Amino acid sequence: MPFPIRTADVMSSPARTTSAETTAADAAAECHEEDIGSLVVVDGGEIVGIVTSDDFVGLLGTDPDARSRPVEAFMSAPVVTIAADAPIGDVVEQMRAADVARLVVVEDGDPVGVVTSDDVLRHVPQVFHRSQFESPPDERRYRVTSETAYEDADWDAECVCRTEDAVTVGDRVTFSKTLSESDVRSFASVSGDTNRLHLDSDYAAETRFGRRIVHGTLVSGLISAALARLPGLTIYLSQDLSFLAPVEIGERVTAVCEVVENFDHNKYQLTTDVVDADGETVIEGQAAVLVDETPVEEAIAVEALA
């Protein structure tokens, strides 16, 4: 399943280049005039380094002859590159592996742009944010079923908790549903999102996806359905999402929500993901919720796990 957000979608382009012999003064002047934070250093048609605003600052603080120094004397090398059509997830992995904050984007061996950690954070914040959460030990001991207004034969839901009667860190709830043609048509009508990508096969065939796909917001709606199965009355406070891959019409997907932090006063932080039938993550997110007591007594079934 193709990743809809590629490196080329978030990079700064074109890549500004300079030669290894360019002086620091000239390179700094170009960065200032172009309002950019880096220059890719090219020598003999090969990418040999990158010089950034941080490099200029470091040079000025240590070298009395900084202005006349060639960039090859203080550039960062070797350069970490990535293909323009690489998925954003690969950008993050390479940045972490190399401990760098920017990559030179290449196409057919030529520099076509620069992608920074700020670019990723601006477009797909969850890719970085999720690294702050650590999964608690798996000590869930009870399967809790809360009463809802109604259920459907196609739906599967499960809430597995660490205690019998209260939400706590480590609780996990899932909700599965097949997203049908009828669902897509109904959502388009109810929401007003009649984007042809979701409704017109000929039009969708010419897009990057090559076929019609389910509305991203419809897919993310399964997260709300999962949260409704937590014990108590769950009220959304905030939700952040990154859409990582498209969902096919007729595909069965599952929302997986796990409580990762207790803010006190019945407020909780959760990871909120949606995975496809193969277990691949199509939406990654985090939410803050408030869990009130229900206004009326509701039926709650509790089953101890073996």
Nearest-angstrom CA–CA distance, 277 and 145: 23
Q: What 8-state DSSP symbol labels residue 12?
A: B
Highest mean pLDDT among 39-53, 133-147, 161-175, 187-201: 187-201
Q: Which pLDDT score is estimated for 228?
A: 94
pTM score: 0.71
Q: Single out the residue of 72, 84, 67 nearest to residue 14, CA to CA.
A: 84
Q: Please give the full DSSP string across 174-195, using - where no structure is assigned.
A: EEEEE--HHHHHHHHHHH----
Classify 142-304 by CATH class: alpha beta
Please tell me the distance from the alpha carbon of residue 203 to that of residue 200, in angstroms, as a whole number. Answer: 5
Per-residue pLDDT tens digits for 152-164: 999 999 999 988 7
Burial of residue 23, with CB atoms counted within 10 A of its CB: 0-12 exposed, 13-18 middle, 19 or more buried? middle
The segment(s) of the chain belonging to CATH 3.10.580.10 are 7-124
Q: Delimit the CATH 3.10.129.10 region(s) of the chain.
A: 142-304
| Percentage of residues of the chain with pLDDT beyond 90 | 55
- Tens digit of pLDDT for each residue in 220-245? 999 999 999 998 899 999 998 888 88
CATH number of 7-124: 3.10.580.10
pLDDT tens for residues 73-131?
A: 889 889 999 999 998 878 888 998 999 989 999 999 899 999 998 888 777 666 666 65
Report the pLDDT value the prediction gives residue 66, as an integer from 0 to 100: 73
**Element containing residue 220 per DSSP (H, E):** helix 216-227
* Per-residue 3-state assignment (H helix, E strand, C coil) for 29-40: HHHHHHCCCEEE
Among residues of the chain, what percentage have pLDDT more than 70?
93
Query: Is the confidence at residue 208, as pLDDT, over 80?
Result: yes
